[in-house]
Amino acid sequence: MKRRRSLFIHLSHIRLLTQKFALVILFLSTFVFMLVNKTNSVLIEETSSVAIDIVSPAVDVLVIPARIISKFYDYFRDLRLIHKDNQRLKEENEKLNQLYDRARALEIENKLLSEILNYVTPPQAQFLTVRVIAEEGDAFSHSVIAYIGDKKVKKGQVAVTDKGVVGRVDRVGNVYAKILLITDINSKIPVMVEKSRTRGILSGDNTSLPKMVFTPLDADLDVGDRIVTSGVAGVFPVGLPVGKVISVDKHEIRVKPFGNLEKLDYIKLVDYGLDGLIDTKIEE
């Protein structure tokens, strides 16, 4: 019993001494670190640098998966945004194409109308610009149908384009008019050679090149001569451009019209105050 008690007392003394010694060691260590911190900061900086050099690679290795995941996320997010932008651009492109088609059609229509409006009519003449809606081109006739609406149009009015005469009003309905082209077999226009004033009749024969007939045998005609209306018989005014001579021989003289009769979109109906000879109407 006494031995156990003495051993317990001995251990208690050792523990007390150890605690006191540890306290002294801690105090001394603190003092040493404080002293080193005050006197040798370079050593601490070098120690910190070494620690950073050791720890930084480890940290870089640890953050690699996070960086990869972040890059994949950004990549797929950008793909989704690009897809949305691509869809939006496609829709805008379709709308722009539609607007371009409409603008192009309006541009062509405006050009045609502008060209027609450039034709200068004689004084006191009244004109109406109409749109061609149908063609009647076959072996028996060369004519077109134009929409006139509620405008006043009379038989015999001259049909012209910006290039020259293309025909005359043959029949008039309530909202439509039939235009007999100068190439039609029933078309007969008093004309003359502009430079020599040689007269004749421009007669259509359902070809693209009407003939000039009833000219004097000694007529002064050359290829390239301009043919204009002569004003004879009071059907057409004098001096309207018609076409030019492209061939001359003993049997026939061929004239090429100035106007493109195969591509008539708009024509101008000019009223010179000359009424037609026959008052007929086409069926609606």
According to DSSP, the β-strands at 142-147 and 165-172 are unpaired
β partners of residue 257: 243
pLDDT of the residue at 280: 40
Q: Which two tokens stand for residue 225?
A: 């001569």
pLDDT (tens place) for every residue of the chain, 284 residues total:
544 455 445 555 555 555 555 555 666 666 555 655 555 555 555 555 655 556 556 555 555 666 777 777 777 788 888 888 888 888 888 778 777 767 776 776 677 676 666 666 555 678 889 999 998 766 677 899 999 998 889 888 999 998 899 999 999 998 999 999 999 999 999 999 988 889 999 999 999 999 999 998 888 889 999 999 988 877 788 888 999 999 998 778 999 999 889 889 999 998 877 654 434 443 33
- Integer angstrom CA distances of residue 60 from 45, 50, 63, 69, 72: 22, 16, 5, 14, 18
This model's pTM is above 0.75: no
Which residues, including other chains, have CB under 8 Å from residue 229's CB and lie 6 or more apart? Answer: 165, 189, 190, 191, 192, 236, 237, 238, 239, 240, 242
- In one letter, which amino acid is 179? I
- In one letter, which amino acid is 14? I
Q: Which two tokens stand for residue 150?
A: 């509620």
pLDDT of the residue at 144: 94
Delimit the domains of the chain by residue range.
126-271
CA-to-CA distance for 207 and 209, rounded, in angstroms?
5
CATH number for the segment(s) 126-271: 2.40.10.350
Q: Which two tokens stand for residue 272?
A: 């010179």
8 Å CB contact between 235 and 229: no
Helix (H) or strand (E) holding 203: strand 199-203
CA-to-CA distance for 200 and 242, rounded, in angstroms?
13
β partners of residue 267: 130
According to DSSP, the β-strands at 142-147 and 176-181 are antiparallel
8 Å CB contact between 180 and 187: yes
